[in-house]
Amino acid sequence: MNLKQLSELLGLSQTTVSRALNGYPEVNEATRERVLQAVKETGYRPNKAAQRLATGKAGSIGLVMPTAPDHYSDVHFGEFLTGLGEEAVRHDFHFVIMPADPNDEVGALRRLAISGNVDALFVAYMRGHDPRLPMLKSLSMPFLVHGRSFGSEPDYPYLDIDNEAAFYDAARLLLQLGHTRFALLNGPEHLDFAIRRKNGLVAALSERGLTVAEDCMSHTSMTDELGQSAMERFLQMPERPTAILCSSTVLALGAIRAVNQAGLRLGEDVSLIAHDDVLPHLKPENFSVPLTTTRSSLRAAGVRIAQRLIGTVKQDGPFPEQELWKTELIVRASTGPAPRQDQNLGGV
Amino acid sequence: MNLKQLSELLGLSQTTVSRALNGYPEVNEATRERVLQAVKETGYRPNKAAQRLATGKAGSIGLVMPTAPDHYSDVHFGEFLTGLGEEAVRHDFHFVIMPADPNDEVGALRRLAISGNVDALFVAYMRGHDPRLPMLKSLSMPFLVHGRSFGSEPDYPYLDIDNEAAFYDAARLLLQLGHTRFALLNGPEHLDFAIRRKNGLVAALSERGLTVAEDCMSHTSMTDELGQSAMERFLQMPERPTAILCSSTVLALGAIRAVNQAGLRLGEDVSLIAHDDVLPHLKPENFSVPLTTTRSSLRAAGVRIAQRLIGTVKQDGPFPEQELWKTELIVRASTGPAPRQDQNLGGV
DNA sequence: TCAATGTTCCAAAGCGCTTTGACAAAAGCA
DNA sequence: TGCTTTTGTCAAAGCGCTTTGGAACATTGA
């Protein structure tokens, strides 16, 4: 069934049917109803290729997927993608992926752009001075980055959360509670969000003349096992930290296991604040000791990014070029006053 | 630059240029050269949408990506995807992904099929009695599955490795070396490959009247941390196993850490055979004690699957409907004769 | 009543490619 | 030489949609 057949069936012209379908105003409501009804009955679906040829829009956004360990290989990316997908389905958009060696991300991105299969590009997992940025700017194709690239001129469209402020605020809270020995369970060192979160922590501490010891910062992929082993290391230190900042509830999950196994009490012997991406299977309020968190929904970010990208393609705009979302600092039971000095020094 | 302009530039008809480009025989070699040269100079690229409309082929294969923890979230999938991608790029094909809640994989697959954006579908991570199968068969769109679905009629196109034979053979080798106490570090229980590998092990053992204790089988995602913790559990058992079968070199990595930490020697106190997917960053020959493995390249499987899928779309066929690749059993130093009874029983 | 303004619909012209059917020119054959 | 094949090329007809530029009709205001 194609447009022509459908229009003949209805005794209308293709123009009218097309307009009825695409929500143009110059068609009688009654006529539109008839058309919609016929579509339902016949199961008509417009031919994508024809639509694309006629409009010049493919209805798709492209992304390159580095096929390496550590990359896109975690729950967080899945959660983000879910948001992206939700919104895309709503607008009948789709995603084109280009699997690529992480050493050739730039090339893959370029190939994706010139392939003619996508209307816009999406990139994530930004690093400092990210080389993809200059390339994207040289392309004449809309793009949007999730996150930012530390050290690059911020003249590109992005959506990010204020990671620095999040961890700055979290650290301030712990400082106010009297903590002085901090540790950081962070994501991979080269990633922008990890850089900024560390900076936030460092900035808050330096206002009090404090620092984080180098061996009190762990940079790993964000799995609970790695959170656990890093935390175990921290807890074995002679002057073990009492305040832990954690880049993900997933890391926190492992970290708390380590705390428990060491016979310590969360929120008393050790205070912990985790960043909460609002992963549905890992709610901070459901931890046995509910977690104090900096919160920002990853899925919501996915939805918003899809919105902006799709809007740009459809020229629904205008959208703000750059968005920096504030995180919420939500206090629960995992943070408490710093333990008295003499208690901290004890082992298990 | 489009075909019309290019052909005018060359003083040829669109027909001839099109044919020159698409490798049709009825065009003079000299003419073809001229055309190719002009393409190089002008940077002409055929419009995908137009090609698609004219041919009815989108040049794309679709896959749904469940956005849940544990799923597609490991190195193995990345490696496979790399192979798929390599071949796709070679044929100028692309992938369309549909991120989906794992509870709605079937729906997502259907939506992908009727979206009109793909020519063929690919599915992986098959489970027993997989509900996607009947749905795929009801569609009139080519598809190919990686793996099989235990318990389903094997009347669908697939490419799989003979997981059962692999672990059967591996177990036989260990039996011949005198081992009697086996353990299995397997992938997620519901996945087809895990089912079959377990069956292979069980079959080999039962020929000798042996079994694997329920608590000597671990079913987890395939990360090294989980391999380590499972192995630690095994090693603490009063009658600890001396023969370990391992579904991935990634799991083995952790398992061996546990062996070392227990002060045991791999290949002497404990023998281990892992399945080797030929992950480039994890070569069994580079382990401090080189690993005996059952080997089959995941990337090669990706390439082959892309070949078949693309070939089917282009009607290059015929391809075999079903392929079952044998794995290679490669003996290295991680396997040795079973230790004498009295030695096994000792602790660290 | 009549011109002016909406409202609702249509015919036809693309979008840029592939492919069919025809046709000269060149080559093979007797 | 005249005849059939083969070779190399072309014009034109789609593929199925969107969109432009009217046109017919109904409605309004004076």
Give A262-295 pLDDT, tens digit per residue.
999 999 999 999 999 999 889 999 999 999 999 9
Query: How far apart are the C-alpha atoms of B195 and B213, rounded to whole Å?
Result: 16
Residue B261 pLDDT grade (very low, low, confident, very high; cuts 50, 70, 90): very high
Strand C contacting residues by CB (7 Å) = A 11-16, 26-28, 31, 50, 53-54; B 2-4, 14-15, 18-19, 21-22, 44-47, 50-51, 53-55
* A18 CB neighbours strand D below 7 A: yes
Position B348 scores a pLDDT of: 39
Q: Among A55, A114, A117, pick the best mutation site for testing chain B contact (most B Cβ within 10 A).
A: A117
**The domain defined by B3-46 carries CATH number 2.40.30.40:** no
Whole-number distance in Å between A54 CA and C12 C1'? 15
Q: What is the pLDDT of residues A145-169, one digit of tens each?
A: 999 999 999 999 999 999 999 999 9
CA B292 distance to own-chain centroid: 20
Task: Please tell me the distance in Å from A58's CA to the nearest CA on chain B.
Answer: 8
Please say if the pLDDT value at position B69 is more than 50. yes
Q: Which residue of B has its CA nearest to A225?
A: B225
B56: nt with nearest C1' to CA: D15
Q: What is the model's pLDDT at position B71?
A: 52
* Interchain CB distance below 8 Å, A53 and B53: yes
A266 CA to centre of own chain: 28
With a cut of 80, say whether residue B343 has pLDDT above it. Answer: no
Dmax (CA) for chain B in angstroms is 89
CATH of domain A60-161+300-326: 3.40.50.2300
User: Does domain B163-297+329-345 match CATH 3.40.50.2300?
Assistant: yes
Contact B78 A101 (CB under 8 A): no
At residue B341 the predicted structure's pLDDT band, cuts being 50, 70 and 90, is: low
Distance between CA atoms of residues B162 and B322, nearest Å: 12
What is the arithmetic mean of pLDDT over B202-230?
A: 94
Average pLDDT on A108-112 reads 93
Q: What is the pLDDT of residue B347?
A: 42
Answer yes or no: do B67 and A58 touch at CB < 8 A: no
Pull the structure tokens for residue A78.
């899945």
Strand C bases contacted by the protein (CB, 7 Å): 7-21
Kindly give, in sequence order, each residue whose CB lies less than 8 Å from that of residue B311, ignoring residues fewer than 6 positions away: B317, B319
User: Which residues of chain A form CATH 3.40.50.2300?
Assistant: 60-161+300-326, 163-297+329-345
- The closest CB to that of B78, out of A53, A59, A68, belongs to A68
Minimal CA separation from A89 to chain B, in Å: 9
> If you write DSSP's letter for every residue of B5-46 in order, what string do you get?
HHHHHHT--HHHHHHHHTT-TTS-HHHHHHHHHHHHHHT---
- Domain at B60-161+299-326, CATH homologous superfamily: Response regulator (3.40.50.2300)
As beta bridge partners, residue B184 has B217, B245
Q: How far apart are CA B42 and CA B127, in angstroms?
A: 50
Paired residues of A328 in beta bridges:
A295
Q: In the predicted model, is pLDDT for residue A74 greater than 80?
A: no
Interatomic separation, CA of residue A30 and C1' of nucleotide C2, rounded (Å): 31
- CATH 3.40.50.2300 positions along chain B are 60-161+299-326, 163-297+329-345
